[in-house]
Amino acid sequence: MFVNKTKRVDDRNVSISQPHIRPIVRGKAGTPVEFGAKINMSVVNGYVFLGEISYDAFHEGGLLENAIIDHDTRFHMLPAKILADQAYTRPC
């Protein structure tokens, strides 16, 4: 950091017991930084299917289309309902 004159460290450890955990800056009121995984999941007839999991920050905008394609591939039909956060509907 000194040599490169930066204040950023990619993939830095923030937990010795869980080194895979990364801080995710969300900018929400009250909790500007969150820790843990970001997941994309679907629930079908009470079963939960994990589509994506990442401990790095990423934009969810591109995941909705992939989730629909995965559902169609898995069940050979489109989902009857799609319930998603607004972040999924915004482009990357």
pLDDT tens by residue, 3-31: 888 887 776 667 777 777 777 777 777 77
- The tens digit of pLDDT for each residue in 36-67 reads 777 888 888 899 988 888 877 777 777 888 88
When pLDDT is cut at 50, 70 and 90, the band that residue 90 belongs to is low
Q: Which residue, chain included where needed, has tokens 């000194």? A: 2
Residue 60 has φ and ψ, to the nearest 5°, of -75, -10
| pLDDT at residue 32, rounded to an integer | 80
pTM, entire model: 0.58
What Å distances lie between residue 51 and 13, 29, 42, 47, CA to CA? 25, 28, 7, 13
Burial grade of 22 (CB within 10 A; 0-12, 13-18, 19 or more):
buried
Contacts of 39 (CB under 8 A, 6+ apart): 50, 51, 52, 53
